[in-house]
Amino acid sequence: MNRAAPSADIGGLLGRLVEAKIVPVIRTSAATTAEQAVDALADAGFDVFEITMTIADAPALIESLAARPGVLVGAGTVTSEQDAERCLSAGARFVVSPCVVPAVVAPCHAAGVPVLLGALTPTEVLAARAAGADAVKIFPVSSAGGPAHVSALRSIFPGVPLVPTGGIRAEQVLEYLDAGAAFIGMGGRLVDERLILAGRSGEITALGKSLRASLGLPAG
């Protein structure tokens, strides 16, 4: 086992993610549309964002967003120690991997930043925690039974913060939280790049406001 007690910084940052309830996962074809997506969701009241490393020059975008007052930005789809270090240097305040990559844990914990490692099965959840994950991303949850899968994992790992991500629909958010999710990652179902390219970013803002209202969160 490679689990140290979380530092105050890690615990506080993880607490902010839990309070957010929904973390938008920004995965677009270009940094320009990613920034537009962030703007649209900021108008809805969101202030926590995950920027995936699949976006070209993602660390530069993370650095730009991290400079915004009140915004908490993290890095997603991080699969190497080197990428973790680049994102941390850019200002990422949480790091997410879609799988169990033990090498990303040490640099993050050294920086006081929480790590979410990805898993789907009980064996993978256990491996993620053994590697040092502060929370476990359950991905892709929609292909594994949805809220029922989260509930089943929660029953055998009651002390592990579980973060379902992948294909979650707006109408399922409360169901996932009721199933025991610590918080939820929402990607394409919340951030539809086609709307941005069509000049319809307002529809993303409207959906974001509706989701936040359903959770009792203030809108922008």
Residues that are catalytic:
50, 137
CA gap 193, 199 in Å, rounded = 10
* Look-up of token digits 């790590």: 115
The sign of the torsion formed by the CA atoms of 41, 142, 117, 16 equals: positive
For 42, list phi and psi in degrees, rounded to 5: -60, -35
For 74, list phi and psi in degrees, rounded to 5: -125, 175
Largest Cα–Cα separation, the chain = 49
Give the C-alpha distances (Å, rounded to integers) separating 29 from 26, 55, 168, 220.
10, 6, 20, 26
